Amino acid sequence: MKLHRFFQKKSSGNIARDRLKILLISDRVNCSPEMMNMIKNDIAGVISRYMKIDEESMEVQITKKNNKGAARKSPFLYVNIPILDLSSAPHNKI
Amino acid sequence: MSEVIVVTSGKGGVGKTTTCANVGTGLAKLGKKVLLIDTDIGLRNLDVVMGLENRIVYNLVDVAEGKCRAKQAMIKDKRHPGLCLLPSAQTRDKSAVKPEQMVKLIEQLKNQFDYIILDCPAGIEQGFKNAIAGANRALVVTTPEVSAIRDADRIIGLLEANCFEKIDLVINRLRYDLVKRGDMMSSADVVDILSIPLIGIVPDDESVVISTNQGEPVVGNSTMAGEAYRNICHRVIGEEVPFIEFEKGFSFWTKVTGIFRKN
């Protein structure tokens, strides 16, 4: 997995910290990995109607970020979808 | 005004009982009247860590069931005036006491002590509910490991849901050499993840093992852990104490012990 290889350059302490940050946010919002998978599949389904995407390397995460105007960090959904071909969308061919 | 502090962690084996024994003894050394209550029914350990295991007559369950008065069950620590221990029962289980009984007991004892410190069992079930029922302040103990931090986060969520006024973090068994190498999360990382105020960092120190063997808490000794626990006690009573940097001292000691190990 690409992500894994990328993290291997980091020290194990930083790996632990980053894993925990992601894990705890999904723990706190009570969102199971299965649910994250369902969200991922649904989003992939919708986007695939318009363009060809790489579903294998797609990432869905809930992370915390400072919102504009808000004093506290709030959770937000982060989706990273690699596009394989913009023009080859199935409905464009019809 | 007396404070009721629960020492909790979620995960087992991170040092709740050791923290309890040391903070309780440390506060007594500062001249406070302290009662330690072991709420880990069925797996009592605070008595043996404190070195008071031979003096138990009655226990927490006996008091809750009205078999004896609270005063009869409390063991006075002769080494530290003002320090008492209410031991737990070894042959019963967590369901032997109900949260309402704990609240009633603590209300009854509150005016006799400055601090009541509750040693919470691991887990989030009945034992945890009993321990937090009468408390208004918490010390969450964690080690810089993923499993302990995850459980601590869950515990903090539960404490917040139970309207705790003050929740402070104790980071236990920090190894400065590993942090320096990047192979352990730093205290700053842990505080950032759990986002509650830090009240103390206890370095991983063999003096804790030795003191536990002897049944005499390490607090106040001229060891790293002893000083760390003493500082925690000062912070518990509201004094501002700077966090000591053990980094230099620790690497020096690891070097010294390293030389002996090689030989």
Q: Is it the case that residue B178 has pLDDT exceeding 70?
A: yes
Pure H helices in chain B? 16-29, 46-50, 60-64, 70-73, 99-109, 126-133, 146-161, 176-181, 187-194, 206-214, 224-236, 247-262
pLDDT at B17: 97
Contact between B193 and A21 using a beta-carbon 8 Å cutoff: yes
Interface subset of B 93-152, CB within 8 angstroms of A: 145-146, 149-150
Contact B138, B9 (CB under 8 A): no
Q: Is it the case that residue B214 has pLDDT exceeding 70?
A: yes
Largest CA distance in chain A: 52
Q: What percent of chain B has pLDDT over 70?
A: 93
Tell me which residue has tokens 């500062």: B30
Over the stretch B52-79, which tens digit does the pLDDT of each residue have?
A: 999 999 999 999 999 999 999 999 999 9
The pair phi, psi for residue B78, each rounded to 5°, is -70, -25
Report the residue from A17, A24, A27 with minimal CB separation from B185.
A17
Over the stretch B10-20, which tens digit does the pLDDT of each residue have?
A: 999 999 999 99
Over the stretch B97-108, which tens digit does the pLDDT of each residue have?
A: 999 999 999 999
Confidence class of residue B172 from pLDDT cuts 50, 70 and 90? very high
Highest mean pLDDT pick, A6-10, A52-56, B158-162, B182-186: B182-186
Q: Is it the case that residue B167 has pLDDT exceeding 80?
A: yes
* Euclidean distance between CA atoms B42 and B91, whole angstroms: 6
Contact between A20 and B157 using a beta-carbon 8 Å cutoff: no
pLDDT at B262: 46
- Exposed / middle / buried, residue B233 (Cβ in 10 Å: 0-12, 13-18, 19+): buried
Mean pLDDT of B76-93: 95
Mean pLDDT of B207-223: 95
Indicate the pairing of strand B198-203 with strand B166-174. Answer: parallel
Which two three-digit tokens encode residue B52?
A: 């008071």
pLDDT at A62: 73
- Exposed / middle / buried, residue B141 (Cβ in 10 Å: 0-12, 13-18, 19+): buried
Interface subset of A 1-60, CB within 8 angstroms of B: 11-14, 16-17, 19-21, 23-24, 27-28
Q: Is it the case that residue B263 has pLDDT exceeding 50?
A: no
Which two three-digit tokens encode residue B39?
A: 């709420």
Contact between B178 and A13 using a beta-carbon 8 Å cutoff: yes
Tell me the domain boundaries of chain B: 3-262
* Euclidean distance between CA atoms A69 and A57, whole angstroms: 33
Lowest mean pLDDT among A29-38, B120-129, B188-197: A29-38
Long-range contacts of residues B178-187, Cβ cutoff 8 Å, at least 24 apart: B178/A13, B179/A13, B179/B144, B180/B247, B180/B251, B181/A11, B182/A11, B182/A12, B182/A13, B182/A14, B183/A11, B183/A12, B183/A13, B184/A13, B184/B144, B185/A13, B185/A16, B185/A17, B185/A20, B185/B144, B185/B149, B186/A13, B186/B144, B187/B144
Q: Which fold has domain B3-262?
A: Rossmann fold (3.40.50)
3-state secondary structure (DSSP) of residue B42:
coil
Q: Is it the case that residue B51 has pLDDT exceeding 70?
A: yes
ipTM of the complex: 0.81
Tell me which residue has tokens 């103390």: B200
Residue A26, H or E segment: helix A12-28
Which two three-digit tokens encode residue A31?
A: 């969102």
Report the residue from B149, B153, B185 with minimal CB separation from A13.
B185
* Euclidean distance between CA atoms B56 and A73, whole angstroms: 49
Report the residue from B150, B179, B193 with minimal CB separation from A13.
B179
pLDDT at A34: 80
Cα→Cα distances A17→A27, A29, A65, B150, Å: 15, 19, 16, 11
pLDDT tens per residue, chain A (94 residues)? 455 555 556 899 999 998 998 888 778 777 777 888 888 899 999 999 888 999 888 888 776 666 666 555 567 788 899 999 877 655 555 5
Nearest to B139 by CA among B47, B221, B17: B17
